[in-house]
Amino acid sequence: MSDATTNAMPGSLTASSPKKRLKVKGSVIVMTLYLLFLLLPIYWLLTMSLKTNTEILNEFTLWPHDFTLANYATILTDPSWYTGYINSIIYVTMNTAISLAVALPAAYAFSRYRFMGDNHLFFWLLTNRMAPPAVFALPFFQLYSSVGLFDTHIAVALAHCLFNVPLAVWILEGFMRGVPKEIDETAYIDGYSFGRFFVKIFTPLIASGIGVAAFFCFMFSWVELLLSRTLTTVDAKPISAIMTRTQGAAGIDWGVLAAAGVLTIVPGALVIYFVRNYIAKGFALGRV
């Protein structure tokens, strides 16, 4: 992808002014409708989380008439709910740390050097990002049971490396390619060792790339359901598995379920806010 300049504005170039005004109006309507379509379901989840179950089930209201935070209180005080969040956060953090630690040097190698089988290696890594987790669920279950790691956080963290490590390598490689090679060479001439150069000079230069990679590792590990559910029973059960479990029960506590949903969206929404300026770039690389 070449540079995404902000001055290409086809809208400003259309000929006559009445025509232009009409066109702008049309696109505003399209965007409003589209964003409405995107936000309505999320709004609905949010209002449900703020309603009492009586209101949800007995009257149909567009916004909470009987405003309550009880659903959130339930989640934050009931251990069977909040341990799910703690478990999720533990293995997601472990996974992000492992993925980045191994992906950083590898991405550097792919972005700077040609070596035996580099293309094939890169392709092989990518196939793991593309592989359906359903294929791996059963062997993972057997593998981690046999080494005694079943139902531990590290098992889920390692399993998620399957798709997160390739993803991190892919994203980081794209960012590292943007750093001119002269910087490396100058540093080596100045007597920096590889390790010191990497930590002191190179890492700060690709800080935004590391941020984006960390974000996507975090996200994909956070959203994954199949492997984390297969590999855990009690001690490391993640929030996503707890949420699907309640759906099996006869009487579903919709308010609490909605509140749990809202709470799992929060980390993502927070991170979007922090990386909002990189989002366009991340997508422009096509590496998501």
Piece of the chain touching other proteins by CB under 8 A; list 69-77, 78-86, 205-213, 263-271: 263-271
188: three-class secondary structure by DSSP: helix
Q: How far apart are CA 70 and CA 51, in angstroms?
A: 9
Which residue carries 């960012």 as its tokens?
Answer: 175
Measure CA of the first residue to CA of the last residue in the chain; give whole Å.
Answer: 14
DSSP character string of 219-280: HHHHH--HHHHHT-SSTT--HHHHHHHHHHSSS--HHHHHHHHHHHHHHHHHHHHHHHHHHH
Least distance from other proteins to the Cβ atom of residue 227, Å: 10
Least distance from other proteins to the Cβ atom of residue 246, Å: 10
User: Which of 35, 73, 86, 207 is the binder for other proteins (CB under 8 A)?
Assistant: 35
Residues 90-149 touching other proteins, rule: CB under 8 A, are 98, 101-103, 105-106, 108-121, 123-128, 130-143, 145-146
For residue 131, give the DSSP letter.
S
Q: Does 181 bind other proteins (CB under 8 A)?
A: yes
**Closer to other proteins at the Cβ: 76 or 279?**
279
Which among 168, 176, 194 has a CA at the least distance from the CA of 103? 168
Q: Give the x-and-dash track for 215-254 against other proteins (CB under 8 A).
A: ----x--xxxxx---x---------x--xx--x------x
User: Which of 30, 76, 97, 183 is the binder for other proteins (CB under 8 A)?
Assistant: 30
Which residue carries 């909470």 as its tokens?
Answer: 64
Q: Does 207 bind other proteins (CB under 8 A)?
A: no
Residues 53-92 touching other proteins, rule: CB under 8 A, are 56-57, 60, 62
